[in-house]
Every structure is written in structure tokens, then in C-alpha cells.
Amino acid sequence: MNIIKKQQEHDAIDCLEGMEEELYKDFSYEELRNIICRLKESSVKYPDEQQLENTITACKAYMPKVINIKNITKDVKLFDKLKLILTYCNKIYILVSVLIYVIGFYLTTSGYFFGSPYRAAMILSPIPFIIGLSAVFKSRSAGMEELEMSFKINSIELGLIRLVLMCIFNNILSLILSIAFLYTDKSLELSKMMICWCLPFVTISGISLFIAIKIKNYNFTQFIITLWSIFSFIIISSEKISNWILNLNALVIAGIGVAGGMLWVYNIILIYTRSVANEAFD
């Protein structure tokens, strides 16, 4: 007991030493020491282990929820997402696509290449999509990574929105090109021109996307471009094939269109299925 008392007195003296004289001018040293000793003497029995465990159990219910990207993305409105996507759209991609179409238009109208506007539309129509596809699957590029890291949009949504935007952009370009051709050459038919850019676009974009999902590395771009180059070469070198395409039966055209559309739906399902494991856009 005496050891405890001595320790308490020692603590009290320590306590006093840290204080300014002004604070205890109304006390004698002994008085102050005794008050502090008395205060320090009172002890508290700690709660038992069960009380501690109860508190831990109660606290567990209030643990912060780990951030779930999917939940956050639900809170962001579609319009805001589109705005974000447009902010990060690669300007170089847009410029290159426009440039390809402008050069294609110039080469066709000046008679240097392609031969006919129909062939030009057939060859050019899927090119912006093929180029853009590689950028979508390389979503870890600087700008996109920043966007994804913001957790406002997840990589799956981001990829799909970009694909849709690419399709819209590609079709707008093709439509402008068609109008430009129709404006320069009055003998051209709008329906044929539409077939020339719609059919290759639907089939090639569907196949490209399918290959891109399956292959899952960036070499697929080279593969698709090579494939498309061979196809383009055949069309340019053989007038028969381009004429055959232009004179296809309406039912066949509709069939190709439906098949292309179904391939797109299948691809989107595939992307969503794979998104569970976050594989599709990695």
C-alpha cells in the first residue's frame, strides 16, 4: 500500500511541476499535493471482457461500406455520363476519321482511286469503327484511366457507351459522305448508296467486335485491318463483286442486316457476361 501511496505522491509532484505557479497561488504546496493524491487514489474497475466484446459486435454493424463501383455508377445520370465521355473523346481519332473520309471523297471525285462512289462508300464505311475499336479496348490510355479512376463510370459502361458513340459518329460520317457523293454525281441512287455503307458497316463492325472480345489483345486490330484491306482490294480490283453487292436481292440485304444486328446483340450480351469477371475491357 505504501508503495502505491508513494507512487501517487510522486505522480502528484510530477503533475505540479508541469504547472504554472499562477495556477496554484491560492494553495499551499501541501494542500495541493494532498488534493491531487486524493484524486489519483480513486480507481476505476475496468469493464469485463464481455462488455468489450459487446461493444466490438455493436460497432461491426456500423463499419463503413466498402465502395462498390456499380452502386456509384447508378447514381450518375446518363446525360452526365455522356458529357463525361465526350470530354474524354479522343480528338485525334475524330480528326483521323474525318481525314480518311475527306481523302476518300477527294480520290473518288478526282478519279484517282476507288473507281466509283459506291465502292468508296463500301470500303470507307467501317474504317472509323475499326480504328476506334482498338481505342475502346485500350481503355487504360491516360485520359480514360483518369475517368475510370473517378469511379463515376465503370469500364464496362464506358466501353459500351464509347462503342455506341463510335457507331453514331461513323454513321454520321458515312451519311455526310453519301450526301456529298449524291450532290456531286446526280446519277447516283440514294438507296444503293445506303446499302453500300450500311451493309459493310453492320457486318464488319459486328465481326470486329466479336473478334475483339474473343481475342482480348491488341493484335486483333491489325488482324481486322488486314482482313478489311484484302476485302477492299477485292472490291477495287473486281467490278463484278461490287456490282453483285449493289444488285443484291432486298431479302438478302435485309437478312444480312438482321444477322449483323443479331451479332451486335450477341456481342453486348457477351460483354455483360464477361463484365462479372471484369475481363471484357481489361
Using CB under 8 A, which of the segments 28-36, 133-141, 188-196, 238-246 binds other proteins?
A: 28-36
How wide is the angle at C-alpha 134 spanned by C-alphas 133 and 136, nearest 5°?
65
Q: Is 37 in the site for other proteins (CB under 8 A)?
A: yes
Report the residue number, 17 or 251, with the smaller CB distance to other proteins. 17
CB 31, min distance to other proteins, A = 5
Q: Is 40 in the site for other proteins (CB under 8 A)?
A: yes
Using CB under 8 A, which of the segments 29-37, 131-139, 148-156, 178-186 binds other proteins?
A: 29-37
Taking residue 75's Cβ as centre, other Cβ atoms within 10 Å add up to 8
Q: Is 135 in the site for other proteins (CB under 8 A)?
A: no
C-beta pairs of 151-154 under 8 Å, 24+ apart in sequence: 151/67, 151/69, 151/72, 151/73, 152/72, 152/73, 152/76, 152/80, 152/81, 152/84, 153/73, 153/76, 153/81, 153/84, 153/85, 154/69, 154/70, 154/73
What DSSP state is assigned to residue 216? -
Using CB under 8 A as the binding criterion, the count of chain residues that bind other proteins stands at: 42
Distance in angstroms (rounded) separating the CA atoms of residues 122 and 118? 6
One residue of 3, 43, 75, 247 binding other proteins per CB under 8 A: 43
What DSSP state is assigned to residue 63? P
Q: Is 21 in the site for other proteins (CB under 8 A)?
A: no
CB 119, min distance to other proteins, A = 59
Report the residue number, 35 or 190, with the smaller CB distance to other proteins. 35
One residue of 35, 95, 190, 265 binding other proteins per CB under 8 A: 35
